[in-house]
Amino acid sequence: MTKSKIVILTGAGMSAESGINTFRDAGGLWEGHDVMEVASPKGFKDNPKLVLDFYNQRRKQLFEVEPNAGHKALVELEKKYDVVIITQNVDDLHERAGSTKVVHLHGELRKVRSSGNSRMILDWTGDLNLGDICAEGFQLRPHIVWFGEMVPMYQTALKLMTDVDYVIVIGTSMQVYPAAGLVYQAPTFTPVYFIDPNPQIRESNFKNITVLPEIASTGVKKVVDLLMK
């Protein structure tokens, strides 16, 4: 018997309860830095050491945090459904919680890639320093999608959204494109569950949406309990 398909879209609010700060605050800062200094090709060109140090700190933080109740609850759905998580987050908390199919739209902190060959991607758990090069002699850089860069996994995510039975959106404003456009690609009457303490979504755009204005840990459990019955 074929399992029904669930696609889950997660953003910064998914990991906030684990202690990972959201990508940027209202002032356009990320951990006190202007985002364009640490999350753009120009920023890397102008000050590569600053950028590498910044992501080294983010990578270290992963070893200090754990998946929260929201991450863990999503794993339960795999007992009954074919589940794929499409995340805007660069942490590995979904995988560590036990989810088996995770698509990272914006890259992964625990991977690096060649600055001269984007297809050369390596697992990386320690610090990344100037002088760390790939087999072709290019400086390695964080495997992160920076502002102004293409989103390589977007077409994969788009295809997943066109063939789905349920959609769950967690902890994302759905205001930042191209990721924000994904939820609108689901078939017209697909049930959509939107979980965010400050939901910014037009319910009128959907034929079958349930909005839960809650944090991930409580909202996810309610939706999971509902779908597992």
Q: Which residues are catalytic?
A: 106
Per-residue burial over 57-91, b if 16 or more Cβ lie within 10 Å, else e, is: ebbebbeeeebbbbbbbbbbbeeebebbbbbbbbb
Strands, E, within the chain: which ranges?
5-10, 29-30, 33-34, 82-87, 102-104, 107-114, 121-123, 140-144, 166-170, 192-195, 209-212
Give the closest residue to 86 by CA, choosing from 19, 172, 18, 3. Answer: 172
What are the structure tokens assigned to 22, written together? Answer: 């959201």
What are the structure tokens assigned to 59, written together? Answer: 């990578």
Query: Which three-class secondary structure state does DSSP give residue 119?
Result: coil
